[in-house]
Structure 1
Amino acid sequence: MHRRRFLHASAAALAALASPPSLRAQLRPRILRLSGPWASVSFPLLWMAERAEFGSLAERIEFLPWRDPDELRLIALEGRADFIAMPSNVAATLYNRGLMLRLQCISAWGLLYLVSRRPSLDRLADLGDEELGVPFRGDMPEIVLTQLAAAQGVEARRELRLRYLASPLDAVQLLLSRRLDHALLAEPAVSMVLARSRSGIVSLFAPELYRTLDLQQAWADAGLGPARLPQAGIVAVGAAVDDGGLCAEFAQAHARALGECMAAPQDCGAIVARRSGRLDAAAVADSLGHSRLEAVNAAQARPELEAFLGRLLAHRPGLIGGRLPESGFYSG
């Protein structure tokens, strides 16, 4: 890809950046379509869609949530968004299967925790015969769990009693109703279930729940790498891939939005709660203190991402589409 596309995108980016602000404003798209899950990786996108100061990107910024990885893949394949927050392995898989996309940044470096009725847990094998709820079978939560379990000498699907769930909210309900003792969750679902178990009428019947295991720290303790994993980021899709000016402006705006979210967690919580209609503002605000969020551009994140994807490739090639993505996958 690719020299011609690269030269075209580079020229577009230089032209856009060289244009005066008034001209760039005239050239802005009417609608900028963003998409992501109801998880921490999407908070900056929701912030951008809500706040008027990001109006230089487009006349209107829309956010389309995806509920599960299957819906994510459909949104990407149908071109229903310009920029999408998605797990890094899904981005690699879609690229390797020929979808026109380019990774802009990795922004989620650690969101996964084991929530349990036990206050502490040293190893996954300590779960014994107790059920562990896992949302999104075969996708990022289980991928990290499987790799960590193997490093601890456990074959996850054979030796752990896994209960696959359609969504994190299913796990939240099962935990609160005492029908599940442990669940692997990403923020903000972790903070939400902990808050709900300790407040209001729910606290009268819900069990005492704990943030028992930080999977990122456990990853480091098992010798698999640093306590941060390139779990998810932002990709440009379709026509946005070749719009270098838009991608450059989006990258700056996204990094700014992420910084503003981290600096104003209560405001971020209010936006996410209002937009989602299902997440608690206070829990979202609290989740930011437990989310390893940093917008690292794709080129800089590439070494860490390739190390992570390489591990998945060796374990199960289909998790990333059979090979490491080539250079065209990474934005400059």
Structure 2
Amino acid sequence: MKKILSFVVVALVALAVVGAQPLYEKRLSDAPLTVKLAVMAGPTGFSSVALAANDGMITSTVKVDMTVYPSPNEVIARLANGELDMACLPTNVAANLYNKGVKAKIAAVIGNGMMSVLSTDPSVVDVSGLLGKSVNVPGAGSTPDQLSQLLMLKAGLEVGKDIQLDYSVAAPAQVAQLLIAGKISFAVLPQPFVSMVLGKNPKARIIADVQDLYAQYAKASNYPMSVLVVTDKFVSSYPLAVQSVLEAYEASVAWVNANAEQAGLAIEKTGIMASAMAIPAIPYCNLVYVPAQEAKAEVDAFFASLFAFSPASIGGKLPGADLYL
């Protein structure tokens, strides 16, 4: 009988702890809870800027502490060691985190594809003219590189034989400057660098929309280029705060899309990018907010495409359903 009573007491205590979690979170929120959010310098961070308004106070009890990082590598390390609660990242990076055992979930897709193939050679007006040519791609293993190689494979073309991919310049800003100066003729670039090149070199033109090519070959309307992730620990500890951040993020995306000039100034103030580059590009950046469960089929299709082309691009295996919040 004593053993039975002991078991009942332990079970009741456990249930009480679990049931009290939201109340515990609410009690802690008497002092604002700070959510540590990482964003990337560049268009991946554009949609987040409204969260930085009002010193990051998105509600009376939740504050967002947003930090801008130049590359995903620094963010990956900080997510892994618990320094960050949430982050905006390229979609394939989320798969790599999952396959490395970092406990984080995709909460939403925040950006769809926004890349183009540019030419400053008046004799080349479409992608068929690239046969035998060299195309600059910013960064081996980057999203532009992965999409370029994937689409070439789908088109039956061989890298190095039919088209050369030049990775000699890794930074997209530098590739853009070379196009503007006429020192290279072809490149695959994302926004806002596409808009920058078109605005500064009258010879530059878009000869292919990467999103259209992906839709043609992958049988999907677009590909999810960036996502918002949240650590499992933070979700389990502060579900109400997570919901507040997600609601604020969705509102931020809508505000940025509707207020390009103001958003561009906020983007510069936050340290994400100069407003002169951001403002004209915002309408073309495909900033969206799609909750993880609604975006799951599209993200899975993107992962499957990358995996078929290069398993290493997503960490060696397809993620499970537990990647999604």
| TM-score category of the 2 structures, normalised to the smaller one | 0.7 to 0.9
- Kindly report which structure 2 residues correspond to 1:73-222, keeping only aligned pairs within 5 A, or say none: 73-118=76-121, 121-123=125-127, 125-164=128-167, 165-195=169-199, 197=200, 208-220=203-215, 222=216
Report the counterpart of residue 265 of structure 1 in structure 2.
Answer: 260
Q: Report the Cα distance in structure 2 between the residues aligned to 1:50 and 1:192, rounded to whole angstroms.
A: 27
Distance change in 2, residues 1:57/1:329 (3 Å): farther
The offset of 1:100, in angstroms, is 1.3
Match of 2:68 among 54, 65, 68: 65
Secondary structure of the residue that 1:159 maps to in structure 2? coil
Report the counterpart of residue 254 of structure 1 in structure 2.
Answer: 249
Query: Aligned partner of 1:77: which letter?
Result: A
The offset of 1:277, in angstroms, is 7.4
Normalised by the length of structure 1, the TM-score is: 0.82
Query: Aligned partner of 2:117: which letter?
Result: L
Q: In the alignment, is the contact (CA less than 8 A) between 2:49 and 2:266 conserved in 1?
A: yes
Q: In the alignment, is the contact (CA less than 8 A) between 1:106 and 1:296 conserved in 2?
A: yes
Q: Deviations over 1:277-302 (max 9, x none)?
A: 752x2431221221222111111111
The offset of 1:318, in angstroms, is 1.5
Q: Report the Cα distance in structure 2 between the residues aligned to 1:100 and 1:162, rounded to whole angstroms.
A: 35
Match of 1:290 among 281, 284, 287: 284
Q: In the alignment, is the contact (CA less than 8 A) between 1:115 and 1:185 conserved in 2?
A: yes
Query: Aligned partner of 2:65: which letter?
Result: E
Match of 2:319 among 315, 321, 325: 325
My pick for the range that moved more, 148-157 or 63-72, is 63-72
Distance change in 2, residues 1:264/1:318 (3 Å): same
Q: Report the Cα distance in structure 2 between the residues aligned to 1:193 and 1:16, rounded to whole angstroms.
A: 53
Q: CA RMSD in A?
A: 2.9
Report the counterpart of residue 3 of structure 2 in structure 1.
Answer: none
Q: Report the Cα distance in structure 1 between the residues aligned to 2:315 and 2:276, rounded to whole angstroms.
A: 38
Give percent identity, aligned residues only: 23
The offset of 1:273, in angstroms, is 2.3
Q: Report the Cα distance in structure 2 between the residues aligned to 1:193 and 1:51, rounded to whole angstroms.
A: 34
Report the counterpart of residue 203 of structure 1 in structure 2.
Answer: none
Normalised by the length of structure 2, the TM-score is: 0.83
Q: Report the Cα distance in structure 2 between the residues aligned to 1:230 and 1:259, rounded to whole angstroms.
A: 17
Distance change in 2, residues 1:173/1:28 (3 Å): same
Unaligned runs of 5+ in 1: 1-6, 198-205
Q: In the alignment, is the contact (CA less than 8 A) between 1:105 and 1:235 conserved in 2?
A: yes
Secondary structure of the residue that 2:137 maps to in structure 1? strand
Residue 48 of structure 2 corresponds to residue 45 of structure 1: yes
Query: Aligned partner of 1:288: which letter?
Result: I
My pick for the range that moved more, 314-323 or 63-72, is 63-72
Q: In the alignment, is the contact (CA less than 8 A) between 1:47 and 1:257 conserved in 2?
A: yes
How many residue pairs are counted as aligned between the two chains? Answer: 307
Q: Deviations over 1:167-215 (max 9, x none)?
A: 21121222222222122111122223333x1xxxxxxxx5622233210
- Kindly report which structure 2 residues correspond to 1:216-255, keeping only aligned pairs within 5 A, or say none: 216-220=211-215, 222-237=216-231, 239-242=233-236, 243-255=238-250
